[in-house]
């Protein structure tokens, strides 16, 4: 059995600490090996352990619930030998980055586990999609990680006034979130990012063409990730990263690189949405009704702020959209909430019908 000091020495660069050791103690007593999952594909995973990297089968810990499958970033207990070798247990996660799947079964998909920083890469080579940034940030906040927005390819915006305006737009979209500008090719801004991700585990997120692989290579100090050119027409690229890979950074910290995400569906992320739109949540406390939806209710402090020019219309529309989407995905998995929503829809429909009848009466 590997000594505890050897385990700490080997696994500390991957995030092992006293708390994980305590969680793992029962498995250690059974003679199992501690390790962190660095890659998962087709029911198997690559695990880094004190004795070196190994390949293990996840069949014993892959339940029907997709939220509990082994994923990159998990700490696991692995058999010391065997062919095939199996993962026997997965330690409780501290955080988990989850999005909804594209299936009609309302399932969540875990992209990364035990993450401290969620780095959202956004390319400055194309027009900013503030709504998509808000969507990424909602999932990041909900995961329990600290979001960071990194505006990549800053060298393609040579005019500093224009660059400052773009940064300001993102800062307004991301209250309470650090916003960094980086040029991986020129090396500008990397020192700040390296310092930020130098402790804990960071997951790198963004669309294809956002420059994630180039950024990952810059942080790693070597060309580990494949890089391909983005299309000039829309700045999008092919998936250069096809799996989620966990890598130890040379200056400290751990990085999980992910494939470009075309779809970023919310999955029970009401708290995260609230944090992204903190100013709207604060304004809502002044609404006359506690269940105000900021549509046409009297005494709505949020709409008053819009009318006064204190809150951009785009922010309110984005907030409504994400809240509706989140409510719908939750309702699809919650029968009680689904029934309440249908009741509310019928009530609103009846009110609308009554209002139309009243108007017709006045027209006659």
pLDDT digits (tens, 9 = 90+) for 124-164: 999 999 999 998 898 889 888 999 999 999 999 989 999 99
Are 256 and 246 a contacting pair, CB within 8 Å? Answer: yes
Residue 54's φ and ψ, nearest 5 degrees, are -150, 165
Q: How far apart are CA 232 and CA 254, in angstroms?
A: 32
pLDDT value at residue 184? 84
Residue 270's φ and ψ, nearest 5 degrees, are -60, -40
Q: How far apart are CA 110 and CA 318, in angstroms?
A: 24
Residue 23 burial (CB count, 10 A): 15
pLDDT for residue 172 is more than 80: yes
Beta pairing, strands 146-152 & 117-123: parallel
pLDDT value at residue 104? 47
Mean pLDDT score, 41-66: 85
Beta pairing, strands 44-49 & 52-57: antiparallel
pLDDT value at residue 6? 83
Mean pLDDT score, 331-345: 55
pLDDT for residue 255 is more than 60: yes
DSSP-derived 3-state class of residue 150: strand
Beta pairing, strands 75-78 & 87-90: antiparallel
pLDDT value at residue 234? 43
Q: How far apart are CA 233 and CA 253, in angstroms?
A: 36
pLDDT value at residue 121? 93
pLDDT value at residue 212? 86
User: Structure tokens of 260?
Assistant: 């470009």
pLDDT for residue 188 is more than 80: yes
pLDDT value at residue 272? 85
pLDDT value at residue 238? 44
Lowest mean pLDDT among 91-105, 186-200, 273-287: 91-105
Q: How far apart are CA 211 and CA 227, in angstroms?
A: 8
pLDDT value at residue 119? 94
Mean pLDDT score, 195-213: 88
| Model confidence pLDDT, tens digit, residues 308-329 | 999 999 999 999 988 888 776 6
**E strands, the chain, where?**
33-41, 44-49, 52-57, 75-78, 87-90, 96-100, 108-113, 117-123, 146-152, 179-181, 201-205, 245-248, 254-257
Q: How far apart are CA 228 and CA 214, in angstroms?
A: 9
Q: What percent of the chain has pLDDT over 70?
A: 76
Residue 102's φ and ψ, nearest 5 degrees, are -85, 0
pLDDT band at 9 (very low <50, low <70, confident <90, very high): confident
**Chain mean pLDDT for the chain:** 82
Mean pLDDT score, 98-119: 75
pLDDT value at residue 228? 46
pLDDT value at residue 5? 81
pLDDT band at 223 (very low <50, low <70, confident <90, very high): low
């Amino acid at each position: 059995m590997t000594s505890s000091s050897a385990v700490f020495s080997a696994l500390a660069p991957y995030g092992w600490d006293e708390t994980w050791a305590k969680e793992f103690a029962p498995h250690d007593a059974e003679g199992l090996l501690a390790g962190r999952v660095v890659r998962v594909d087709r029911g198997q995973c690559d695990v880094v352990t004190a004795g070196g990297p190994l390949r293990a089968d996840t069949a014993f810990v892959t339940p029907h619930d997709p939220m509990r499958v082994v994923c990159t970033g998990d700490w696991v207990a692995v058999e010391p030998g065997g062919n095939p070798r199996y993962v026997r247990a997965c330690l409780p996660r501290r955080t988990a980055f989850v999005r909804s799947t594209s299936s009609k079964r309302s399932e969540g998909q875990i992209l990364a586990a035990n993450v401290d920083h969620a780095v959202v890469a956004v390319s400055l080579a194309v027009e900013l999609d503030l709504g998509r940034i808000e969507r990424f940030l909602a999932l990041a906040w909900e995961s329990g990680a600290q979001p960071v927005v990194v505006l990549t390819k800053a060298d393609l915006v040579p005019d500093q006034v224009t660059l400052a305006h773009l940064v300001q737009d993102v800062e307004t979209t991301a209250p309470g979130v650090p916003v960094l500008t980086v040029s991986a090719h020129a090396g500008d801004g990397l020192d700040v990012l390296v310092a930020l991700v130098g402790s804990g585990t960071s997951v790198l997120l963004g669309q294809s063409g956002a420059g994630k692989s180039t950024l990952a290579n810059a942080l790693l100090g070597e060309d580990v990730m494949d890089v391909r050119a983005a299309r000039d027409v829309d700045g999008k690229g092919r998936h250069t990263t096809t799996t989620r890979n966990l890598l130890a950074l040379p200056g400290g910290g751990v990085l999980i690189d992910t494939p470009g995400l075309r779809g970023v569906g919310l999955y029970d992320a009401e708290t995260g949405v609230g944090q992204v739109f903190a100013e709207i949540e604060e304004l809502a406390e002044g609404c006359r009704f506690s269940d105000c939806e900021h549509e046409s209710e009297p005494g709505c402090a949020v709409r008053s702020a819009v009318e006064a020019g204190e809150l951009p219309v785009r922010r309110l529309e984005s907030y409504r959209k994400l809240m509706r989407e989140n409510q719908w995905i939750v309702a699809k998995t919650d029968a009680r909430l689904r029934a309440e929503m249908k009741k509310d829809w019928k009530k609103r429909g009846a009110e609308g019908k009554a209002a139309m009848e009243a108007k017709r009466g006045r027209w006659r």
